[in-house]
Amino acid sequence: MRVLVIVTAYDRSETDVITPWLSETIRKLGARGVTAEVLAPSYRGLPSHGVGGVRVHRFRYAPRRWEDLTHDETTPDRILSKPLYASLLPGYLAAGTAAARRLLRTGGFDLVHAHWPLPHALMALAARGRRPIPLVSSFHGVELTLAGKRLPFLRPMLRYVIEKSDVVTANSRYTADLVRSVHDRPVVRIPFGASLDFPPARDPGPADDRNERAGERPGGAAPRLLFVGRLVERKGVRHLLEAMARLEDLGARLDVIGDGPLRRSLEARARSLGLARRVRFRGFVDGDELVAAYADADVFVLPAVHDAKGDVEGLGVVLIEALTAGVPVIASDAGGIPDIVIHERTGLLVPPGDGEALARAVRRIVADPALGRSLTAGGRRHVEEEFSWDAVIDRLEAVYRDAVRTEKPGPRAESADDARSRARG
């Protein structure tokens, strides 16, 4: 089977870290005999090329110096911070549709998979015309939250895309609920897995446990916290800094891995809180360094919030990475995070935007190694069952196979009864 995957941004080189989960998905599909090619916008004149054995078709949509609507930050963030970029959208849509039409006319693809369906599913629908090639539309949350809060005029287009897609998927129950708020149709939940290779997990004993080290690291060293992610508003790092200010008596240290538009303001906030010696902003690191950072962490924290445009974590793949690495996690009860972090079973949940609650949760894990062991073990089991690559690719491959058949029994989408049952407990 050959699939054309349409996305906003894709790795520009072997060392790029734009969408590691997507690159890994395509690689895993290839091992199952599903060949995927990518259609993505150019970046400052970047031509079509190959990345990691994947053929990437780039479409030009503006003069070279203006072709940075994507990749550096999300397109909605780019446009909201610099409204002039909205003028590039007509060219983006026209060029992307034309490129998709050229590729589909070759007859070499069995299916189109559009991530971030607004606008990419619209492009696919226009490109395929009357041809019966199936369309899978995968929502990750951002266009749905924009349509619900900032840009309600998008809802008719979202409804059209959802209605016309052969299969609709969502990365979490939260995102699936947002889809159903626009159009009441079946939604298949397909998350994504960790893109890092960790050493084989083992169950630690009482004398050999990272959580014991959280309170008594060698030489009396302080507990080490870790955050990984892009430094944007919805990640909530400013609330984590507030929590760190409350943990001075523990001497807790925090590594912040990642970069983004808020880095300078967050560094300034850390200095103003007297945290310059206890918080280290490391920027982007390579895969080996990131694996080592997880191995050295006592607690992983994702303090996500709803940002000014209503966006929030659609899932939180870094939580999957942390649990796979055997690190106890603390995260906000927001967006798709509760799919991964089940309170007091696979981690601890706290209210979004509450630095004091974050600090209390850290103290709880540091003070109770048995709790840390329990959360780590439960988290590993949950990730293996729901978020391992075998589980993810099984679901996605089933969606593809069913989409190209006339009769589509497919994987069972979450029903209203499922949702009510989940709400009860």
- Predicted local confidence at residue 201, as pLDDT: 56
Strand partners, 3: 36, 111
Strand partners, 197: none
The residue extents of the domains of the chain are: 2-193+390-424, 210-386
pTM for this prediction: 0.87
- Predicted local confidence at residue 17, as pLDDT: 75
Give Dmax over CA atoms of the chain in angstroms: 70
- CATH no. for 2-193+390-424: 3.40.50.2000
62-91 CB burial, b ≥16 within 10 A, e <16: beeeebbbbbebbbbbbbbeeeebeebeeb
Tens place of pLDDT per residue across the chain (425 aa): 999 999 999 999 988 878 888 999 999 999 999 999 999 999 999 999 999 999 999 999 999 999 999 998 889 888 888 999 999 999 999 999 999 999 999 989 999 999 999 999 999 999 998 888 999 999 998 888 888 777 788 899 999 999 999 999 999 999 999 999 999 999 999 998 887 777 765 454 444 444 444 544 554 568 999 999 999 999 999 999 999 999 999 999 999 999 999 999 999 999 999 999 999 999 999 889 999 999 999 999 999 999 988 889 999 999 999 999 999 999 999 999 999 999 999 999 999 999 999 999 999 999 999 999 999 999 999 999 999 999 999 999 999 999 998 444 444 444 433 443 444 44
Q: Which helix (H) or strand (E) holds 20?
A: helix 20-31
Of 165, 170, 167, nearest in space to 143 by CA = 170
- Predicted local confidence at residue 146, as pLDDT: 82
> What's the topology of domain 210-386?
Rossmann fold (3.40.50)
Of 70, 86, 148, nearest in space to 312 by CA = 148
Euclidean distance between CA atoms 160 and 174, whole angstroms? 21
Judge if 2-193+390-424 and 210-386 fold alike in CATH terms: yes
- Predicted local confidence at residue 143, as pLDDT: 85
**Are 304 and 172 contacting, i.e. CB atoms less than 8 angstroms apart?**
no
Q: Which two tokens stand for residue 167?
A: 């299969």
- Predicted local confidence at residue 373, as pLDDT: 94
- Predicted local confidence at residue 252, as pLDDT: 96
Q: Which two tokens stand for residue 418?
A: 């499922």
Of 24, 105, 96, 20, nearest in space to 58 by CA = 96
Measured between alpha carbons, how far is residue 311 from residues 34, 73, 144, 335, 419 in Å? 32, 14, 9, 9, 22
Burial of residue 153 (CB within 10 Å: 0-12, 13-18, 19+) is exposed
Strand partners, 82: none
